[in-house]
Amino acid sequence: MTNILARLDRLGRWLGGIERVDDTGLPVEELAHPLPLLAMALLGVNDHLLKGSGWVPGWLTGKLSDFAGLFFFPLFVTATADTALYLAFRLSGGRTPRYSLRMWKLYAAASFTAVIFVPLKLSDRWGTLYIEAMHLLDVLDLFGGFQVTRDPTDLLALVMLPLAVLFGRRFLVRIPLGRLAELRAAARSEHRPAPKELRKTVKAALADVRSLASAHPARLSALDSFVEAYAAALAPAAPGPRADGAQRQLDRYRRALESHP
């Protein structure tokens, strides 16, 4: 099982990218991973092929949609919101930072999903309003046969929300896409910041990552070494070898994450 998850993670890094000292990408890594992509595919196959086909019991197809949807939808929400913030970041020349993934965003996305889902399973009126809204927004007619069945037992699928948060947390602890780009933009906006100030800035920006990494001393030590190396690399007119050294420390930290999960 561990080997399978490791291979899925490698594929996820290829699909969604990974933050580097001198390069970044769209902040969608938590969604562009095989597990949420498989959940999305399962939802599509279940809703368009299995439901009503007679191949699978009706009660099972309903549960499959709920469990798959509640896993990937919070990750879809964070990826979509952060991509919008990323576009604002680029258009503003880096003056609107903080588009990278954070724990509060995962909690907010899970809460938002629950606020939509729970009334659907308890209220016929809410279900009707939801379907009307879907049809109004469905300009491509992708959800023409979309239906909502009121069934309180479907609330069992809410267990997928904390699992989605825990899944998203894995991308935060390895330093999410965009976090170092935010720091580079902040460093450029300051007028020749002192090395001590740069260290404080980097440490503060990675405080949430540090709190997640603190469970194991080896991970924490590797992260602190990266903070020092990256602060040095952000210094004005820092030579190329400093950036290379910071990348080596970042790779070392991520190896520590894999060695001490």
Kindly tell me if the per-residue pLDDT of 145 is higher than 60. no
Q: Are residues 159 and 195 in the same domain?
A: no
Per-residue pLDDT band at 39 (split at 50, 70, 90)? very high
Of 177, 211, 230, which residue constitutes the final position of a domain? 177
Asked if 5 contacts 78 with a C-beta cutoff of 8 angstroms, the reply is no
Residues shown for the chain: 261
| Confidence at residue 98, expressed as pLDDT on a 0 to 100 scale | 84
Q: Are residues 253 and 169 in the same domain?
A: no
Closest CA to 201 of 234, 249, 168, 178: 234
Asked if 107 contacts 131 with a C-beta cutoff of 8 angstroms, the reply is no
Of 136, 153, 177, which residue constitutes the final position of a domain? 177
143 contact partners, CB below 8 Å, separation of at least 6: 134, 135
**Does residue 185 form part of some domain?**
no
- Residue 214 main-chain phi, psi, to 5 deg: -70, -5
Give me the percent of the chain exceeding a pLDDT of 70.
Answer: 83
Q: Are residues 115 and 213 in the same domain?
A: no
**Does residue 166 form part of some domain?**
yes
Question: Domain range holding 198?
Answer: 190-261
Q: What gap in Å lies between CA 212 and CA 94, rounded to an integer? A: 27
Q: What gap in Å lies between CA 191 and CA 180, rounded to an integer? A: 19
CB atoms within 10 A of CB 71: 24
Q: What gap in Å lies between CA 181 and CA 186, rounded to an integer? A: 9
Question: How far from each other are the two terminal CA atoms of the chain, in whole angstroms?
Answer: 14
| Confidence at residue 7, expressed as pLDDT on a 0 to 100 scale | 81
Q: Are residues 48 and 108 in the same domain?
A: yes
Q: Are residues 231 and 142 in the same domain?
A: no
| Confidence at residue 206, expressed as pLDDT on a 0 to 100 scale | 94
pTM score, whole prediction: 0.88
Q: Are residues 55 and 125 in the same domain?
A: yes
**Does residue 219 form part of some domain?**
yes
Residue type, 97: P
Q: Are residues 122 and 91 in the same domain?
A: yes
- Chain-centre distance of CA 40, in angstroms? 15
How does pLDDT run across 207-246, given as a tens digit for each residue?
A: 999 999 988 899 999 999 999 999 888 877 655 678 889 9
Structure tokens of 38?
A: 């498989």
Count of domains for the chain: 2
- DSSP-derived letter for residue 18 is -
Residue, of 108 and 25, whose pLDDT is higher: 108
Q: Are residues 56 and 162 in the same domain?
A: yes
Kindly tell me if the per-residue pLDDT of 34 is higher than 80. yes
Q: Are residues 243 and 219 in the same domain?
A: yes
**Does residue 110 form part of some domain?**
yes
Q: Are residues 50 and 170 in the same domain?
A: yes
| Confidence at residue 140, expressed as pLDDT on a 0 to 100 scale | 46
**Does residue 184 form part of some domain?**
no
Q: What gap in Å lies between CA 192 and CA 249, rounded to an integer? A: 24
Q: Which of 31-35, 97-101, 163-167 has the lowest mean pLDDT?
A: 97-101
**Does residue 120 form part of some domain?**
yes
Q: Are residues 110 and 196 in the same domain?
A: no
Structure tokens of 185?
A: 């933009």
Q: Are residues 8 and 81 in the same domain?
A: yes
| Confidence at residue 148, expressed as pLDDT on a 0 to 100 scale | 64
How does pLDDT run across 150-160, given as a tens digit for each residue?
A: 677 888 999 99
Q: Which of 39-43, 70-74, 108-112, 135-139 has the lowest mean pLDDT?
A: 135-139
**Does residue 83 form part of some domain?**
yes
Asked if 218 contacts 246 with a C-beta cutoff of 8 angstroms, the reply is no
Of 145, 177, 209, which residue constitutes the final position of a domain? 177
**Does residue 182 form part of some domain?**
no
How does pLDDT run across 174-207, given as a tens digit for each residue?
A: 999 999 998 888 777 666 666 778 888 899 999 9
Closest CA to 179 of 142, 200, 208: 208
